[in-house]
Chain A
Amino acid sequence: MKFKSRDLSAARRILKIRDLRVGLSGRPDAEPVLDGIDLDIHAGETHCLVGESGSGKSVTSLATMGLLPKDALEVQGGQIDLEGFEITSATPQQMRRLRAQRIAMIFQEPMTALNPVLRVGEQIEEVLAMHTDLSQSDAKARTLDIMEQVHLPDVDRIYAAFPHQLSGGQRQRIMIAMALVLDPDLLIADEPTTALDVTTQLQILKLIEEMQERHGTAVLFITHDMGVVAEIADTVSVMQKGRIVERAPIRTLLTAPKEEYTRKLLTAVPNLAPRAGRAAPDAAAVLRVEGLEMTYGGGWFRTAGGVRAAQDVTFDIAPGRTLGIVGESGSGKSTVARCIMRLIDPTGGEVVVAGTEIAQMSRRQLGPHRKHFQIVFQDPYRSLNPRWTVARSLCEGPINFGTPKAEAMARAAELLELVELPRDAMTRYPHQFSGGQRQRIAIARAVAMQPDLLVADEAVSALDVSVQAQVLGLLEDVQKRFGIAMLFITHDLRVAAQICDDVVVMQKGRVVEQGAATDVLTNPRHSYTRSLIEAAPGRNWDFANFRALGGAQAEQGTTA
């Protein structure tokens, strides 16, 4: 793996932050959100700010832009110095002139960050109208020029398009064009690729890099993804609870991290190299899916029109094994999961769970079979009824199937122990737990039914990387203990590599490749699988062991 190793200390220092403290508005005594941040960024440098949710990464960037939400947060001390200009004491008018001209920012969600009712060309042009005296035709020419620079196709058409008519990647290119049209000294990118699919992410990262080289922009890049950091960073600052705990050039940080917290973060990043496959058991398959098909809409005659969310999906899972379905958004992987759970009714094909065909059953017939298959959802904040105690949630299923209440309660208490939550969690409500803890409760709720099949639909995608590792460990633990077959839906190849025995790769509703994880992920046959693997950032680095991944892969070049 190639890292950036430029020496930028001689370059012009664009941003100097010293002892920055940010706290809750009007409450100087409350615990600070940012507690003494120091940061330097030089021209041409990419400085990555990494940390888990709540570490203060985004607050740092908003403070630099002077965009802290005023009724919630305020700067309570320190300096933010932009080449001699003090941002913390700037007037609103001064700040307004500074933005887009000297500092620009791009955000995580390009859909919500662009105004839905204005044409994207107008939104770029507006920057010119606010800050320059260009005539309207000059402004339009300049807008089209920057749109070409960010490699948007057919710029005349896209100029007149509305955000909802563009793809996620195109929207983010518009954001980048808008940020860079006045050639600012500093670009702040707040998780700009997190909402994008992995192949699009790669393109956007390349684009930011290209633009940076062309204009010598300093980039403050905020992310939670160590893979992305490995690809693009010159320097990395690791944040935890409002402080910067470690700062180092990228190679140093990844090979010899000094702080315990940094080591913990890095060890939790799963490897892209698949783990060794487990021996396939001899038993009959718990789940057999054959020719599964799901078509949405299409009017009265299902044959024509309609969206084919899944077609001709076939696979099976033996007890104690894990099969992963991987793919980007819109690939149909979640549709398959929901069909198998019969949360939606498939339009064709067979689903056999524990020996019973369930795809064509009526809802009423299905009732008694539901205990054989259970699901864990992505969003830990919405998958538990907020008004119910944990005990009530855990007992809901068993009581539905005739378990006496006392017995269900006793079992719930055992399960809480199994998922490593305190016993007094029984009487508490979901909002009193963290995201990871809630996901443990959701797993306990599913396991309480003693299912044969557990479907995990992006079950760790909303969690921070260290919590993710723990929950993955728990799922494997549960699987071993009860011999459950697991269907694991994920967009993240690293997670799939870590937990799956077999992998199904889906694209646009179709299976493009399937087989043992070791085969598919190391010797992909289909070009789509290959492009997915190649787009995974930092794929040649073994973060947990602070070294390159062994074998031939380590020699391949990277995007850097």
Chain B
Amino acid sequence: MTELPGSRHSAFQVLSGMLSLPAGARVGIGPGLAALVLVAIVVASICAPLYVPHDPLAMDAMARLRPPSSEHLLGTDPYGRDIFSRVMTGGRVSLLIGVGAAIVSVTVGLAIGLVAGFFRTVDGIVMRIMDSLMAIPAILLAIALVALNGPSLGSVIIAITVPEVPRVVRLVRSVVLSAREEPYVEAAIALGSSMPKILLQHLMPNTLAPLIVQGTYICASAILIEAILSFLGAGVSTEIPTWGNIMAEGRSYFQIKPGLIFWPGLLLSLCILCINLLGDTARDLLDPRMKKREG
């Protein structure tokens, strides 16, 4: 074998940018493209009621499982509902769950993590509880929570949040633990700064960059878990079209009507892909190891 090549080609740079391989501060067109696609999906989903040709809930017994036509762009489902209208509307709830779960888990995790990272007395107990929560597979915990609390939007968000919180707590705690060893924190102690002040002004800002990254990953995984919950029959009520619900209903028909799984699956995957790519880009840009110590 030979030495590592230091190859650089412009086509490669474009690709590596798209996949957001760590490349210093350089951001290729990839993340830009991902952001563009994501914005398009988000806007299309939010504005769906303004342009979809059919009521996504209107059933039509005479028009079941129609092939794509000018009237039904992607055909109709087993209840005669317009698939295009349902898929575009379905994004709204899926995205709402993703963003909601990300915000709730980051907020709750930040609060618990800061306390656990700084006060040794509570640290042991809190971390044992977090370890225990992490030992339960996320999907299992989430379906159990939804099964017990009912298929409302709120309970789905909580069900997705509960397994994510321990991961955020661990992240925040590890950042706080390493930051509190920094000489500038010790200097602040020597300067007589109070514990809450050190916690909020010196330590918390260190957690923001990794939390933004973690938040994007949680958002992506929440959308994914919502789909899986719906698929297993433990998601939001089937009257609300979500990507997951549409795919769940397509299960029994996937040999005759693969579009029921394919189209929402495509949009959902594209959406998650873009969020993950943006998360990777953010991580590479915010990772302190990538920054040079310049004098």
A–B: direct contact at CB < 8 Å: yes
Q: Point out the residues of chain A lying under 8 angstroms from B182, CB to CB.
A: 382
Q: Which of B2, B191, B295 has the most CB of A within 10 A?
A: B191
Contact A343 B2, beta carbon cutoff 8 Å: no
Judge if A401 is at the interface, Cβ distance under 8 Å: yes
A343 to B5, CA, bound (A): 48
Given the contacts A92-B2, A384-B184, A433 and B189 also touching, CB distance less than 8 Å = no
Contact mask B3-19 → A, CB, 8 Å, 1/0? Answer: 11110100000000000
Q: CB < 8 Å: which of B4, B6, B190, B295 contacts A343? A: B190
A400 to B193, CA, bound (A): 6
Contact B192 A397, beta carbon cutoff 8 Å: yes
Nearest chain B residue, comparing its CB with the CB of A436 = B295
Contact A379 B183, beta carbon cutoff 8 Å: yes
Given the contacts A70-B6, A92-B3, A387-B205, A371 and B192 also touching, CB distance less than 8 Å = yes
Q: Point out the residues of chain B lying under 8 angstroms from A445, CB to CB.
A: 187, 191
Q: CB < 8 Å: which of B183, B190, B202 contacts A370? A: B190
Expressed in whole angstroms, the minimum distance between the Cβ of B177 and any Cβ of chain A is 15
Q: CB < 8 Å: which of B192, B205, B295 contacts A435? A: B295
Contact A397 B6, beta carbon cutoff 8 Å: no
A375 to B2, CA, bound (A): 51
A70 to B6, CA, bound (A): 6
Contact B2 A93, beta carbon cutoff 8 Å: yes
The count of residues in chain A whose C-beta lies closer than 8 Å to any C-beta of chain B is 38
Judge if B71 is at the interface, Cβ distance under 8 Å: no
A449 to B189, CA, bound (A): 13
Judge if B186 is at the interface, Cβ distance under 8 Å: yes
A401 to B197, CA, bound (A): 13
Judge if A132 is at the interface, Cβ distance under 8 Å: no
Given the contacts A26-B8, A370-B192, A375-B190, A385 and B294 also touching, CB distance less than 8 Å = no
Contact B191 A71, beta carbon cutoff 8 Å: no
Nearest chain B residue, comparing its CB with the CB of A25 = B6
Expressed in whole angstroms, the minimum distance between the Cβ of B267 and any Cβ of chain A is 38
Contact B6 A71, beta carbon cutoff 8 Å: yes
Judge if A212 is at the interface, Cβ distance under 8 Å: no
In chain A, positions 74-96 with a C-beta closer than 8 Å to chain B are 74, 92-93, 95
Judge if B43 is at the interface, Cβ distance under 8 Å: no
A343 to B185, CA, bound (A): 10
Contact A377 B6, beta carbon cutoff 8 Å: no
Judge if B293 is at the interface, Cβ distance under 8 Å: yes
Expressed in whole angstroms, the minimum distance between the Cβ of B163 and any Cβ of chain A is 32
In chain A, positions 432-487 with a C-beta closer than 8 Å to chain B are 433-435, 442, 445, 449
Contact mask A61-74 → B, CB, 8 Å, 1/0? Answer: 00000000011001
10 tightest Cβ-Cβ pairs between the two chains A and B: A397-B191, A92-B3, A70-B6, A383-B183, A370-B192, A377-B183, A400-B192, A434-B295, A385-B184, A382-B183
A residues neighboring B (CB under 8 Å)? 25-26, 70-71, 74, 92-93, 95, 341, 343, 367-368, 370-371, 373-375, 377-379, 381-385, 387, 393, 396-397, 400-401, 431, 433-435, 442, 445, 449
Can you list 24 A-B contacts with CB-CB less than 8 angstroms, sorted by A residue number?
A: A74-B6, A341-B186, A341-B190, A343-B186, A343-B189, A343-B190, A367-B194, A370-B190, A370-B191, A370-B192, A371-B192, A373-B190, A378-B183, A381-B293, A382-B183, A382-B184, A383-B184, A385-B188, A396-B191, A396-B193, A397-B192, A400-B193, A434-B295, A449-B191
